[in-house]
Amino acid sequence: MRFAPLLMVAALAAPLAGLPVAPAQAQVPPPGAPTSFAPLAQRLLPAVVNIQTSQAAAQAQAQRRPGAPDVPQAPPGSPFEEFFRDFLERNRPNGSPPGAQPQPNRPQPPARRGQSLGSGFIIDASGIIVTNNHVIEGADEINVVLSDNTTLRAELVGADPRTDVAVLRVRPERPLPAVTFGDSDTALVGDWVLAIGNPFGLGGSVSAGIVSARGRDIRQGLYDDFIQTDAAINRGNSGGPLFNLAGEVIGINTAIYSPSGGSIGIGFSIPSNLARNIAAQLRDVGRVRRGWLGVNIQQVTDEIAESLGLTGGARGALVARAQEDAPAAQGGIQAGDVILRFNGQEVREMRNLPRIVADTAVGSQAPVVVWRDGAERTLTVTVAELPSDQAAAGAPTPAPEARPQTLELAGLGLTVGPITPESRERFSLRPESRGVVITEVSPGSPAAERELRPGDVIVEVQQERVNTPQEVQERLATLRRQNRATALLLIESAQGQRWVPLRLAAPTGSPG
């Protein structure tokens, strides 16, 4: 570990000789701010634990970088790094070079075990503990150190890598102090919070801050909905609780943004309203059952909203594909629908929907409000359990034998053609692909601006299926006659299906 030199800190803090020093002023807390967090911290600290894990040397070795020196982990540039390296050099058999195999006749030291530290918190006096999955992942031994330094062996009850939540069980001789989950939805930006954990393995510590932001997506998974806080969170705080001033857990401290590895005031916590449900399922059945709808979705942009006549601006989740035989298709949801509300909850944007569906009870019937054909419709779907493997290709149908000429779509910079055996081979199209294939894209055209490429397939135009280049041309001509500014195309590429709003530039030679 790297610690700042205390003498240097003291020198910088001292007033410079000869300069006037303002008299010390008593700190007056703003209205509503606590004068001290001590009573709250004293009550909560006993329920926060240190988690120590270890794994076999072979497993720890497998996780190291190939060719990395056999040196215990220390921060780069740390004095300990050189110490460990020198120690190993002095104790290498017969001055053998680095990486040399141990001599068979010389007694070998016992294999080292990889170790890590983290935090957790007790939610049940019988010994149920919540932490992060990444704190205990890969461990073959887990120990929990209580606030009184009692060490207990822990067993893994269940873990969910998708949300980074894990549940442990210890078997104490007496009831343990426990804390409860609060309602994270009531936490407002600017509210005071406390983060308690075990940074750097130094022991229980408390840091205070505020809720900096809500609903953060840090690209960790489908269910990202993090609380951001400026309460100091460092290594070893992972899995520890984030408390409100009522002493309720409103988050699990999980990640930080830091170029140095230390806290710079940007920390992220899993909201308790997500973690509570996950922890309950892990405790009860050892795994998580998530609701599943069976749709591919994308964000609704302003242009897409305009193309669909969606009132109220860009909102909801646009369905790019409803998987066959999945709950959505069985409930009547179609490609091109915009899901506005699911099971009574508003879908503000695309990324809200997976979390809302996942939290819906498997087997329940959920009302779904969609935008279709310029109006809201209410459908009902029966939520299924998220399968472990969702890949299910449709059965291929014979490709058409005829090969009409390609067709240039004037004003768009696109040349399209039918899907034939030749075009399938040329563009490596999937056997089940249906529609009209793009064969050329003119540089600087509206199509190029939307990153359309040769080999992309136009499946629908303005939510109507197209099978020939002539059908695409007719749909676009109809939209121009209606004075539409954009055409909404359903495009299939190697990455999947997506809706693309394409600006309808006037064809060359036509009135503008």
Tens digits of per-residue pLDDT, 50-105? 999 887 654 544 444 333 333 334 334 433 344 344 444 444 444 444 444 555 55
Query: What pLDDT, on a 0 to 100 scale, did the predictor assign at position 33?
Result: 64
DSSP β-bridge partners for residue 366: 381
DSSP state of 468: S
- pLDDT over 60 at 448, yes or no: yes
Could you tell me if 306 and 290 are in contact, meaning their C-beta atoms sit under 8 angstroms apart? no
Cβ neighbours of 249 (radius 10 Å)? 25
Q: What CA–CA distance (Å, rounded) separates 93 from 453?
A: 61
pTM metric for this prediction: 0.60
- pLDDT over 80 at 309, yes or no: yes
Q: pLDDT-based confidence at 449, cuts 50/70/90?
A: confident
Question: Which positions are catalytic?
Answer: 134, 164, 238
Query: What pLDDT, on a 0 to 100 scale, did the predictor assign at position 145?
Result: 92
Across 18-22, 59-63, 102-106, 493-497, the highest mean pLDDT is recorded for 493-497
Q: Which residue has the higher pLDDT, 508 or 211?
A: 211
Query: What pLDDT, on a 0 to 100 scale, did the predictor assign at position 260?
Result: 62
Mean pLDDT of all residues belonging to the chain: 78
Tens digits of per-residue pLDDT, 154-189? 999 999 988 899 999 999 999 999 999 999 989 999
- pLDDT over 80 at 373, yes or no: yes
Q: What CA–CA distance (Å, rounded) separates 26 from 35?
A: 12
Query: What pLDDT, on a 0 to 100 scale, did the predictor assign at position 404?
Result: 46
The amino acid sitting at 40 is L
Query: What pLDDT, on a 0 to 100 scale, did the predictor assign at position 509?
Result: 44
| CATH numbers and ranges of domains, the chain | 115-285 (2.40.10.120), 291-385 (2.30.42.10), 407-503 (2.30.42.10)
Query: Phi, psi (5° rounding) for residue 204?
Result: -60, 135
Query: What pLDDT, on a 0 to 100 scale, did the predictor assign at position 424?
Result: 83
Range with lowest mean pLDDT among 80-94, 129-143, 193-207, 231-245: 80-94
- pLDDT over 50 at 451, yes or no: yes
Percent of the chain, pLDDT > 90? 38
- pLDDT over 80 at 296, yes or no: yes
Q: What CA–CA distance (Å, rounded) separates 113 from 376?
A: 60
Q: Which residue has the higher pLDDT, 70 or 386?
A: 386
Query: What pLDDT, on a 0 to 100 scale, did the predictor assign at position 405?
Result: 67
Distances (CA, A) of 26 to 16, 29, 31, 180, 241: 22, 10, 15, 36, 31
Query: What pLDDT, on a 0 to 100 scale, did the predictor assign at position 425?
Result: 81
DSSP β-bridge partners for residue 216: 226
Compute, in degrees rounded to 10, the torsion defined by CA atoms 308, 314, 315, 321.
50
Range with lowest mean pLDDT among 219-228, 271-280, 487-496: 219-228
Query: What pLDDT, on a 0 to 100 scale, did the predictor assign at position 56?
Result: 65
**H helix runs in 245-372, sequence order:** 272-285, 302-308, 327-330, 352-358
Query: What pLDDT, on a 0 to 100 scale, did the predictor assign at position 312?
Result: 85
- pLDDT over 90 at 477, yes or no: no
Give the pLDDT mean for 483-500: 88
Query: What pLDDT, on a 0 to 100 scale, did the predictor assign at position 431?
Result: 80
Could you tell me if 465 and 459 are in contact, meaning their C-beta atoms sit under 8 angstroms apart? yes
Q: What CA–CA distance (Å, rounded) separates 464 from 493?
A: 18
Could you tell me if 476 and 468 are in contact, meaning their C-beta atoms sit under 8 angstroms apart? no
Tens digits of per-residue pLDDT, 395-420? 233 333 334 468 888 788 889 999 88
Q: What CA–CA distance (Å, rounded) separates 47 from 125?
A: 9
Give the pLDDT mean for 360-384: 93
Q: What CA–CA distance (Å, rounded) separates 37 from 48?
A: 16
Q: Nearest-CA neighbor of 238 among 277, 267, 273?
A: 267
SS3 state of residue 136: helix
DSSP state of 43: H
CA atoms within 13 A on the CB side of 21: 9
